[in-house]
């Protein structure tokens, strides 16, 4: 048998499916009852204001509870569930608490004695990854003895897939997350993500594919009911198989190819034993990239509406999560404002490396683009949205100044936007919200 084992199972029985998955890989062989176990789900986004489709976006509460029960069965009493959910206001401590409450984690705390932890409320340790490159990791994570990493089986608009390694981005501080979106090609997002799990304590990765997400990582993707779970004591092996289940070889996923090179591992799964299901029958291609027009100046849905005189160039790897959260609201506002009359050559730029186009009126979103272009000679045709994260109201004002008369509803009520995406799942019975509750 190979040194690396990945188990793949159909999820058809609560608790027992997860128990069998762990047993197939002997996933808890290195776990001691006295260990401090840190469970890292994926709660990439949350809204306190509205219900939104969590399918393929957030780790199911069903899998989290199953894992807690298995740990308790092993005699483990010191269990922490922790996440660092993206929020617009760094001082916001209520969103994480609301997520834990509505996902039922408060019941897990009361029922099993687990602790709930907000990564941003704890301290961080500077950890060198390679060649002087360091990121700040949660001390709670670094000081744990065993990590149970529970990502979702989904694709990602920038990194192709978002699985176990990528899930650990939720354990670093805000400055480190921004640092991951470097404008330097040599240390770009894929390079940085490839190392996120390198210095972490050992543990078990369980990829939750009860619901999977196409064009993730957020609620604006397309969810599928897949009922697949995969697990391994080796996070890279779990991710390589997870990518395969989504229809990708490691060579098509730059951060996984880089992680394999870092470990002197092949990318063709030849050093991995896959046990459980025959994965060939479970592979279902999930697209990762949002479609844009031929010159990448406008998303295809807006192109099909006939919108002209405005461009929103396709995101690049330097666009960080905080700016990307605004994209859907801005594009939807533009689509709703279109009345068939061409706008006056306006472009909306994001990330860290885009440059204003001569002759166009440019809105530069975010502090990074402001710092890079504040001395630009054509300031009369530039509007900077300077803050980090950018304020939606400032984007609204900028659009109005360039005569793009978008209505204020979405950009001044950002927390209401996710609810718009619930309609497409409302009458599909396979999308069962009870998987995100604790009974």
Contact criterion met (CB below 8 Å) for 66 and 18: yes
Q: Is 169 part of a structural domain of the chain?
A: yes
Residues 250 and 346 in one domain: no
Residues 322 and 272 in one domain: no
Q: Is 433 part of a structural domain of the chain?
A: no
Exposure of 361 in the CB half-sphere (CA atoms within 13 A): 15
Task: Count how many domains the chain has.
Answer: 2
Q: Residue 315 has what DSSP assignment?
A: P
Residues 267 and 357 in one domain: no
Residues 15 and 42 in one domain: yes
Contact criterion met (CB below 8 Å) for 242 and 154: no
For residue range 53-83, what is the model confidence (pLDDT) as tens digits?
999 999 999 999 999 999 999 999 999 999 9
Which residues in 46-78 are b (16+ Cβ under 10 Å) and which e?
A: bbeeeebbbbbbbbbbbbbbbbbbbbeeeebeb
Residues 163 and 262 in one domain: yes
Contact criterion met (CB below 8 Å) for 240 and 267: yes
Residues 33 and 182 in one domain: yes
Task: Give the tokens for residue 400.
Answer: 């109005």
CA distance 357 to 354: 9
What does the pLDDT read at residue 415?
A: 83
Identify the helix (H) or strand (E) that includes residue 370: helix 367-373
Alpha carbon distance, N-terminus to C-terminus of the chain: 40
Residues 278 and 367 in one domain: no
What does the pLDDT read at residue 414?
A: 86
For residue range 219-239, what is the model confidence (pLDDT) as tens digits?
999 999 999 999 999 999 999
Q: Is 403 part of a structural domain of the chain?
A: yes
Pairing of strands 133-138, 146-150: unpaired
Contact criterion met (CB below 8 Å) for 260 and 250: yes
Q: Is 218 part of a structural domain of the chain?
A: yes
Last residue of a domain, one of 260, 288, 316: 288
Residues 266 and 395 in one domain: no
In 141-221, beta strands by DSSP E:
146-150, 152-156, 160-162, 203-214
Q: Is 430 part of a structural domain of the chain?
A: no
Residues 156 and 267 in one domain: yes
CA distance 408 to 426: 27
> For the purposes of burial, counting CB atoms within 10 Å of the CB of 394, is it exposed (0-12), middle (13-18) or buried (19 or more)?
middle
Q: Quick one: pLDDT band at residue 88, thresholds 50, 70, 90?
A: confident
Could you give the percent of the chain with pLDDT greater than 70?
100
Exposure of 14 in the CB half-sphere (CA atoms within 13 A): 13
For residue range 102-127, what is the model confidence (pLDDT) as tens digits?
999 999 999 999 999 999 999 999 99
What does the pLDDT read at residue 154?
A: 98
Q: Which domain holds residue 208?
A: 4-288
CA distance 131 to 218: 33
Beta bridge partners of 117: 82
Q: Is 57 part of a structural domain of the chain?
A: yes
Residue 218 has pLDDT above 60, yes or no: yes
> For the purposes of burial, counting CB atoms within 10 Å of the CB of 238, is it exposed (0-12), middle (13-18) or buried (19 or more)?
buried
Residue 304 has pLDDT above 80, yes or no: yes
Q: Is 437 part of a structural domain of the chain?
A: no
Residues 247 and 319 in one domain: no
CA distance 384 to 401: 12
Q: Is 432 part of a structural domain of the chain?
A: no
Residue 1 has pLDDT above 70, yes or no: no
What CATH code is carried by the domain that includes residue 215?
Answer: 3.40.50.11440
Residues 221 and 365 in one domain: no
Residues 22 and 144 in one domain: yes
Exposure of 219 in the CB half-sphere (CA atoms within 13 A): 26
Residue 45 has pLDDT above 60, yes or no: yes
């Amino acid at each position: 048998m190979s040194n690396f084992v990945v188990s793949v199972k159909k999820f058809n029985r609560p608790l027992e499916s997860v128990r069998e998955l762990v047993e197939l890989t002997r996933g808890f062989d290195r776990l001691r009852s006295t260990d401090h176990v840190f469970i890292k789900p994926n709660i990439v986004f949350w809204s306190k204001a509205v219900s939104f489709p969590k399918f393929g976006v957030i780790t199911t509460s069903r899998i989290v509870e199953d894992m807690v029960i298995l740990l308790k069965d092993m005699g483990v009493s010191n269990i922490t569930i922790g996440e660092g959910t993206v929020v617009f206001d760094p001082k916001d401590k209520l969103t994480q608490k609301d997520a834990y409450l509505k996902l039922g984690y408060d019941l897990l705390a009361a029922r099993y004695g687990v602790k709930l932890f907000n990564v941003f409320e704890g301290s961080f340790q500077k950890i060198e990854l390679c060649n002087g490159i360091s990121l700040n990791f949660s001390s709670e994570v670094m000081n744990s003895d065993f990590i149970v990493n529970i990502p979702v089986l989904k694709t990602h608009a920038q990194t192709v897939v978002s699985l176990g390694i990528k899930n650990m981005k939720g354990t670093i501080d805000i400055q480190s997350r921004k640092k991951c979106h470097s404008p330097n090609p040599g240390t770009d997002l894929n390079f940085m993500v490839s190392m996120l799990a390198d210095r972490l304590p050992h543990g078990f990765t369980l990829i939750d594919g009860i619901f999977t997400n196409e064009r993730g990582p957020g609620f604006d993707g397309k969810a599928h009911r897949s009922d697949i779970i995969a697990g391994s004591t080796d996070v890279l092996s779990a991710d390589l198989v997870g990518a395969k289940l989504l229809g990708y070889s490691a060579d098509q996923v730059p951060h996984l190819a880089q992680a394999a090179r870092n470990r002197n591992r092949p990318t063709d799964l030849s050093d991995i034993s896959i046990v459980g299901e025959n994965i060939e029958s479970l592979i279902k291609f999930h697209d990762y990239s949002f479609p844009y027009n031929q010159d990448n100046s406008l998303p295809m849905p807006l192109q099909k509406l006939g919108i002209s005189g405005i461009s929103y160039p396709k995101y690049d790897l330097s666009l960080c999560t905080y700016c990307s959260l605004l994209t859907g609201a801005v594009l939807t506002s533009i689509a709703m404002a279109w009345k068939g009359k061409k706008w006056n050559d306006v472009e909306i730029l994001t990330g860290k490396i885009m440059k204003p186009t001569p002759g166009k009126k440019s809105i530069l979103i975010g502090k990074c683009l402001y710092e890079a272009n504040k001395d630009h000679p054509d300031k009369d045709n530039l509007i900077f949205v300077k803050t980090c994260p950018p304020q939606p109201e400032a984007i609204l004002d900028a659009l109005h100044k360039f005569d793009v008369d978008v209505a204020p509803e979405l950009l001044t009520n950002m927390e209401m936007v996710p609810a718009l995406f619930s309609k497409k799942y409302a009458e599909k019975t396979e999308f069962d919200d009870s998987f995100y509750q604790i009974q």
